[in-house]
Amino acid sequence: MNIHEYQAKELLKAYDVPVPVGGVAYSDKQAAQVAEDIGGSKWVVKAQIHAGGRGKAGGVKLVHSIDEVKKTADAMIGSTLVTHQTGPEGALVHRVWVEQASHIKKEFYLGLVIDRVTQRITVVASSEGGVDIEDVAKAAPEKIIKEVVDPAIGLRDFQCRKIATGIGLKGRLMPQAVKLMKSLYRCMRDKDALQIEINPLAIVSIGEEEKLLILDAKFNFDDNALYRQRVITDMRDLAEEDPKEVEASGHGLNYIALDGNIGCIVNGAGLAMASLDAITLHGGRPANFLDVGGGASPEKVTNACRIVLQDSNVKAILVNIFAGINRCDWIALGLIQACKHLQIKVPLVVRLAGTNVEEGRKILAESGLAFITAENLDTAAAKAVAIVKETVL
């Protein structure tokens, strides 16, 4: 689950992390009022969508008058912003964040992520912050600093100083950096976040003083922990999420929409990724990632089929089950139930293996329905791609 920048900054303020003074606005008049309340002579107006790359796409504007704040907000709200993360369809802007403009002296990148190898929170930092951090990671990986946190003792001061020194922070900025990093770590741990991305973390001038300030923040949370994070779930913006993904989570399904035409129903994230790769290898395009998880009942399989078929681009469905906790006979019964209740008209390619596989195959064979079966993933993917290509032609 993601949240908007304005929500991230409100969350960080609760942990005493320094962020600019600002406010969210849903109209041009409200944006102008926020700017007046903030005061000053310069403001930044930012489109609020669940995607990065807003600056390059025109979603972040520096303005110099209240009238300009109003005009900029009016142009942004209701517009569709297209970035490298939204895809060509873009994302509709429902609100903007108006904040006090900062006098930036230097920008940095700071992130906290779950390292899948060490299974620990890892702090990632770079002296090259800003909109082109992805290019820095590719062209100059030596400028990326990493520090793994031991969960038994947490993020230590010496680790924070090591990171700060590595990106060029020193003097009076050092204790600020230590406090900021430890607060971010505490927030990530407390709120079950999978990722906190600060880009940029900036040195700003406030009179004669230099101060560290978080100018943009992005969070990603563990969906499996949301049941105990009421504050976070209240921040969920369903308008920004695919309704199919929201519905799937309510049925215990992990669904992510893609842009292809072969629907996928698989158990296990690894096998699901392998299925997507197999489809692509044979020249096809998967329409989704869907992991039914363990213990998939017939009802769960039916719901999976229904959600996949809500995508009008789907021309065939590949069902790839390697049963362990699951049972192939459950899957078979679920597919038959789905075909009867949903009146499925697209071809279903089914590959079953594992627990009760022979019983599952027998149920499919005796159902009287036109299932297309396969012994292995490669054959199943090839059949699904061939079917779709023939249908398209």
* 71 plus 116 within the same structural domain: no
| pLDDT value for 134 | 67
If you average pLDDT over residues 246-255, what whole number do you get? 77
* Strands ordered across the beta sheet of 348-354: 254-257, 288-291, 262-266, 316-323, 348-354, 372-374
* 210 plus 269 within the same structural domain: no
Confidence of residue 131 (pLDDT cuts 50, 70, 90): low
109 is catalytic: yes
Asked if pLDDT for residue 357 goes beyond 70, the answer is yes
Question: Is the CB of residue 309 less than 8 Å from the CB of residue 344?
Answer: yes
- Domain edge (last residue) among 208, 240, 272: 240
The tokens describing 126, both together, are: 């770079």
Higher pLDDT pick, 131 / 237: 237
| pLDDT value for 252 | 76
* 248 plus 305 within the same structural domain: yes
If you average pLDDT over residues 179-208, what whole number do you get? 94
Confidence of residue 130 (pLDDT cuts 50, 70, 90): low
Domain annotation covers residue 185: yes
Domain range enclosing 153: 103-240
* 247 plus 357 within the same structural domain: yes
Q: CA quadruple 160, 102, 97, 92: dihedral positive or negative?
A: negative
* 166 plus 61 within the same structural domain: no
| pLDDT value for 228 | 93
**pTM of the entire structure?**
0.73
266 strand-pairing partners: 291, 320
Asked if pLDDT for residue 370 goes beyond 70, the answer is yes
* 281 plus 173 within the same structural domain: no
Domain annotation covers residue 9: no
Higher pLDDT pick, 262 / 132: 262
| pLDDT value for 392 | 59
Alpha-carbon distances, residue 150 vs 153, 154, 167, 243 (angstroms) = 6, 6, 22, 38
* 222 plus 309 within the same structural domain: no
pLDDT by residue (tens digit) across 134-148?
676 677 777 889 999
Prior bond to 20 cis, omega within 30?
no
If you average pLDDT over residues 252-265, what whole number do you get? 89
| pLDDT value for 161 | 97
| pLDDT value for 6 | 94
If you average pLDDT over residues 103-122, what whole number do you get? 93
* 161 plus 227 within the same structural domain: yes
Domain annotation covers residue 8: no
108 strand-pairing partners: 201
pLDDT by residue (tens digit) across 274-333?
999 999 999 999 999 999 877 777 888 889 999 999 999 999 999 999 988 788 998 999
* 348 plus 387 within the same structural domain: yes
The one catalytic residue in 99, 107, 147, 197 is 197
Q: What percent of the chain has pLDDT above 70?
A: 95
Domain count, the chain: 3
The one catalytic residue in 6, 107, 109, 185 is 109
- Domain edge (last residue) among 211, 240, 269: 240
Q: CATH number for the domain including 46? A: 3.30.1490.20
Confidence of residue 242 (pLDDT cuts 50, 70, 90): low
- Domain edge (last residue) among 209, 240, 271: 240
Averaged confidence pLDDT in the chain? 90
* 261 plus 119 within the same structural domain: no
Amino acid (one-letter) located at 355: T
Q: Report the range out of 85-94, 143-152, 176-185 with the highest average pLDDT.
A: 176-185
185 is catalytic: no
If you average pLDDT over residues 342-370, what whole number do you get? 92
* 152 plus 198 within the same structural domain: yes
| pLDDT value for 53 | 83
Asked if pLDDT for residue 390 goes beyond 60, the answer is yes
* 63 plus 45 within the same structural domain: yes
If you average pLDDT over residues 37-43, what whole number do you get? 93
Domain annotation covers residue 112: yes
